[in-house]
């Protein structure tokens, strides 16, 4: 059973990953790229997911997810933002987040 701190981090991961996934998946790629509010909101959710992942205790991080990449991604969103494209953000949200959401939901129900 996760500690209270881990449960809070998992809750943030679940909530913000789900938002990012929904906002990216509910529109086609050209619409996503042309909507700066949707794009920036999705990036902000990915930043929060990254930061919350850093707060998880090492015992909570399963080997089947790329935790180092998840934790480091926030640095790219904050500091290398000029290299981050809407295509990359949308792909991350749609392709990578479902596994993380599933892990968060499993942790929260344990």
Give 48's contacts (C-beta < 8 A, 6+ positions apart): 12, 16
pLDDT of residue 2: 83
Give 46's contacts (C-beta < 8 A, 6+ positions apart): 16, 20, 73, 74, 77, 89, 92, 93
pLDDT per position as a tens digit, 22-79: 999 999 999 999 999 999 999 999 999 999 999 999 999 988 999 999 999 999 999 9
pLDDT of residue 105: 97
Q: Where are the alpha helices (DSSP H) in 2-109?
A: 4-25, 29-34, 36-55, 67-79, 86-91, 97-108
């Amino acid at each position: 059973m996760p500690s209270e701190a881990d449960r809070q981090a998992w809750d943030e991961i679940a909530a913000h990953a789900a938002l990012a996934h929904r906002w990216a998946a509910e529109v086609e790629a050209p619409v996503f790229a042309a909507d700066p509010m949707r794009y920036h909101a999705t990036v902000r959710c990915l930043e929060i997911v990254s930061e919350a992942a850093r707060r998880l205790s090492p015992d909570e991080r399963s080997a089947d997810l790329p935790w180092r990449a998840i934790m480091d991604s926030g640095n790219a969103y904050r500091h290398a933002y000029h290299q981050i494209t809407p295509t990359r953000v949308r792909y991350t949200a749609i392709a990578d987040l479902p596994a993380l959401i599933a892990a968060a939901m499993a942790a929260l129900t344990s």
